[in-house]
Amino acid sequence: MCSENVLRRFAGSFVLISVALGVWVHPAWFVFTAFVGVNLLQSSFTDFCPLERVLGATGWFGCARR
């Protein structure tokens, strides 16, 4: 289980990076921005977050398995 702050930081970073890549590299990167948004939306309903699973499995940032 991860702190919500850790998950928010990752999500915000992913969004900002993918928007920058979409503007400066190729517009197809906006698909990644949409993917992050869809994951945030579905996790608010289902309480399942793939990033939380990955961080829990690796033990990074103080996250533990659920």
Q: Per residue in 15-30, pLDDT tens?
A: 999 999 999 999 999 9
Is 56's pLDDT higher than 90? no
Q: What is the DSSP letter of 27?
A: G
Residues 6+ apart with CB under 8 A from 50: 39
Q: How confident is the model at residue 4 (pLDDT cuts 50, 70, 90)?
A: confident
The domains of the chain are located at 4-62
Alpha helices in the chain (DSSP H): 4-24, 30-46, 50-58
Residues 6+ apart with CB under 8 A from 40: 11
Question: pLDDT: is 57 or 25 the higher one?
Answer: 25
Question: pLDDT: is 24 or 54 the higher one?
Answer: 24
The closest of 51, 49, 48 to 61, measured between CA atoms, is 51
Tokens matching residue 37: 């948004």
Is 1's pLDDT higher than 70? no
pTM of the model: 0.82
